[in-house]
Structure formats: structure tokens, C-alpha cells
Amino acid sequence: MNQKKIILFHRDFLGFTGGHLKVYDYFKHVISSKDYQANIYFTPESIWLNNPWANLKKHIQTKWEPEMADVLFLAGMDWFALDELQRQNPPAPVINFIQHVRHADPECPLYQFLKYPAVRICVSQEVSDAILQTGIVNGSVVTSPNGMDLAILPKQVKKNIPLFIDGIKNPVFARELAKQLEKRGLVYQLLLERVSRPVYLSYLNRSKISVLLPHKTEGFYLPALEGMLLKSLVICPDCSGNRSFCIDDETCFQAEYKIDDFIRVIHMAKGLGRKKTEEMLESAYSFTRNFTLEKERETFLQILENL
């Protein structure tokens, strides 16, 4: 019987984020395979509140020993877990998971890591295009769009929130938007702080319209996909990484990142007839159901085989 190959992950978990969630999904892909074993090391500063690895203690390493692994899975600033010589000549093949277009920005600390040898998995075509255009990428690049675990989505319930505003990533803009909506007598639910994943999905599930405020640029932007799968009418600006599924007037409404334009689009969405609303919700749901964890898993396991 062949011994399983060890895929070693590294995380500095200071609070739940969508980025950690996707690394966790890839961790589960390894667990699902008969050929590989998933291990993970957490920095001493890491916390366990809302940490999805909390119940997987048998996979957690108390020492960071990259030389003992068959493959290293690094994302974001994880490269700093290796010293400079190890980054230039890694002790094991590196899978570098890239979730944002900012990796291609020379002003961003993440940019420097593109010159180190790795197989890079990018969460959208926009991210792949961005890093390849730098001309410094060392190794192959694979585009694997983020997948959703459809099984964890809550069952459809009555939509008792007329308008939901996710202002977690842009609280200043969200507060101003809410103030302007209040002046116009519109009822809304405003979220400004991170909540647990089930609570967040519950907001989307109960909302007729979801106004989502990403950073100006994102690598993918999962909340928009989740809103569509939960049949909430999504309003979301272009943030680069969401272009493959945020299609204006087809799967969602897109607004320019200006208060006045958001108000215009919100009024348009609220005034949409029942037939057109149902058509858009169904179009969005049908389109986004193709973004599955199964596809993501198949692509990843194939990459591991080719290593």
C-alpha cells in the first residue's frame, strides 16, 4: 500500500474571511483524496473563533516543518514562512493559491512572490491575466474559478428583508448610502461587521434585494455568487474578478461605485415587475450553479497528479 503524500498548508488565522474559506475548501479537497494527506500549521497568533479547522485537530501540526512535506500549499503572505533561500529553492513543490488581482501590483507586498517557483492556481481569468502581464511569473498558471458548496446553503425561506446592504468591506460608503435611502423612506438592513458564515448566508437568503459592496478590485467576490444562488436580486459593482458571473441585467444589476448611481439602480430593482424579477433570479441561479466545488476539486487533484 502506497503511503499518502503530505500536502502542507500554512495559515495565519486572525479572523474568518472569504480567503480563509477558500483555502479551507482546498484543504478538504486534499482530505477527499485517497492519495494525499492534508496537514496544516497555524502561526502562534492564530485564533480558533470561527476557525473552520477547529474540529480537524488531527491534521494540525504544532511545528512548521516544510522539509517534511511532499507539496507546500501557500497563499497570500504564507511565503514568509519560508526564508529567502527556501523561497528561491523550495524544499518541496509549491502550489501558490492566488485570490486577488493585487498580486500583480508592484506596490503590493504580494507582487514579490511571483518570481519564486510555483504552480499558481488563480480564482478567476482576471487574476490569471493580471499576474501573467507582469512578465515575472516563475512557473505555470492555472485558472480555476471558485466553487461553492451547494450543500451548505440554507433552504429557501420567506424573504422578509426588503433590502440588504453588505457594507463590511466599505463601511463609509455603506453608511452614506443607508443615510440617503433613509431620506427616501426606504427600509433596509445594514451589515457593517463580520458575522459567522451561517448568519451571513441567512441575511442573503432572507433578502429580496442584496446590495453588495466589494473592494474596488477583487479576485473573485464570493458574496455575489452566494446571493444569486440564494435567489436574492443582486446589485454589485464591477470589481474585476466578478466579471465572469456578474452580468448586468442578466444575472444581476451593476452600479457605478457612486451613491447616486446605487440609488438609481436600487429604485430600478425595486420597480422591476414580478415577471422580470423572476426571470433574472432564475437566470442568475442557473448560471451560478455551474460554479461547483466538484469542478474545483477535479482541477486541483489533476494539478497534484501532474506535479
Give the residue-averaged pLDDT of 135-162.
94
Is residue 232 within 8 A of residue 204, CB to CB? The reply is: yes
What pLDDT band is residue 204 in, cutting at 50, 70 and 90? very high
Q: For residue range 29-86, list pLDDT tens digits in order.
A: 999 999 999 999 999 999 999 999 999 999 999 999 999 999 999 999 999 999 999 9
Residues 164-187: what's their mean pLDDT?
97
Say how many CA atoms lie within 13 Å of 28 toward its Cβ.
16
Res. 1 pLDDT band, cuts 50 70 90? low
d(CA 206, CA 158): 6
The reply to whether 150-288 shares the fold of 5-147+292-306 is yes
List the Cα angle 133/134/137 in 5-degree steps.
105
As a whole number, the mean pLDDT across the chain is: 96
Model pLDDT, residue 8: 98
Could you tell me which of 94, 112, 108, 103 has the C-alpha nearest to residue 133? 103
**Mean pLDDT, residues 225-246:** 96
Mean of pLDDT values over 210-222: 95
Cell numbers at 25, concatenated? 475548501
- Looking at domain 150-288, its CATH class is alpha beta
In angstroms, rounded to a whole number, what is the distance separating the alpha carbons of residues 254 and 179?
21
CATH fold of 5-147+292-306, please?
Rossmann fold (3.40.50)
Structure confidence at residue 149 (pLDDT): 87
Across residues 15-36, what is the average pLDDT?
A: 94
pLDDT category of residue 152 using cuts at 50, 70 and 90: confident
Residues forming a β-bridge with 8: 39, 72
User: For residues 220 and 243, is the Cβ–Cβ distance under 8 A?
Assistant: no
Contact predicate 119/303, CB 8 Å: yes
Amino acid, res. 65 = E
pLDDT tens-digit series, residues 265-303: 999 999 999 999 999 999 999 999 999 999 999 999 999
Do the beta carbons of residue 92 and residue 118 sit within 8 Å? no
Q: What confidence score (pLDDT) does residue 196 get?
A: 87
DSSP code string of 21-79 = HHHHHHHHHHHT-SSEEEEEEE-TT---TT-TTTT-GGGEESS--GGG-SEEEEEGGGG
Checking if the pLDDT of 111 tops 70, the result is yes
- What pLDDT shows up at residue 248? 96
- Residue 307 has a pLDDT of 86
**Which residues sit opposite 203 in a β-bridge?**
none
User: What are the domain boundaries of the chain?
Assistant: 5-147+292-306, 150-288
75 strand-pairing partners: 97
Q: Which residue has the cell 501590483?
A: 105
Q: Average pLDDT, stretch 8-25?
A: 95
Give the pLDDT of residue 100: 95
Contact residues for 79 (Cβ-Cβ < 8 A; gap 6+): 87, 96, 113, 116
The predicted model scores a pTM of 0.88
Q: How far is CA 223 from the centre of its chain?
A: 8
